[in-house]
Amino acid sequence: MHTAEQARLRDRTRLEDERAELEEEVRRAPRDFQFVEEEAALDLSHERSMRKEVEARLLRHIDERFSAVQRQLAREKREREEAEERFASELGETFAKIVEGIEEERYERQRRFDDLTARHASEMRRLHDELARERELRAKAAAEMVHLLEQLSSSVRSELTIEKQGRQGTEATVMRLLEEALGRRHGQQLSGRGGHL
């Protein structure tokens, strides 16, 4: 774009120089004509011919310069339009890249969020499963403990019952033996008293 502006500046400078030359030629034309008239006073026919030739050359030169200016202006317009189109295209591409970058960033953020959510859900499921297993193990251990305590309690009650029954039997035997011993002693005492009588 900078090169195109430099080219237009050079072309504009060249056109201004050519226009100045053309204006100088136009300013010199009357003097040329006067010089021709003075020099060709003796030959009016030749002077008319030269004048017509100069006029034709001047008009041709003007037409050529005008055509050149038109071509230059058309070229500058075309270059400006092409530059504007390139700028619009570059701007569109830049905007498209920005939009694409935003979309990629949004997709990447969504992907990371989905991954994080999935990992969080997986971790929650794992913790839930571990908690369920822990509860199951605790319940099983508690049931086993209750069962062991019940077995121990039953065993203790059974032993206490056996011990109680043994103690009661021993006490009954001791009482019976005491009663028998007392009975024999009482009988002996009665027999002794009867002999003395």
* Nearest residue to 81 via CA among 21, 14, 4: 4
Which residues have C-beta within 8 Å of that of residue 1, sequence separation ≥ 6? 83, 86, 87
Place of tokens 């070229």: 75
Q: What is the pTM of this model?
A: 0.33
User: What percent of the chain shows pLDDT beyond 90?
Assistant: 3
pLDDT of residue 159: 77
Checking if the pLDDT of 136 tops 70, the result is yes
Mean pLDDT for the stretch of residues 49-60: 81
Mean pLDDT for the stretch of residues 72-92: 88
Which residues have C-beta within 8 Å of that of residue 8, sequence separation ≥ 6? 76, 79
Domain boundaries, given as residue ranges, for the chain: 2-102
pLDDT of residue 112: 92
**Higher pLDDT pick, 74 / 175:** 74
What does the pLDDT look like over 67-81, one tens digit per residue?
A: 888 899 899 899 989
Checking if the pLDDT of 11 tops 60, the result is yes
**Whole-angstrom distance, CA of residue 192 vs CA of residue 21:** 188
What does the pLDDT look like over 103-120, one tens digit per residue?
A: 899 999 999 999 998 898
Amino acid residing at 138: R
- Range with lowest mean pLDDT among 10-24, 36-50, 51-65: 36-50
pLDDT of residue 60: 86
Mean pLDDT for the stretch of residues 127-133: 89
Checking if the pLDDT of 51 tops 80, the result is no
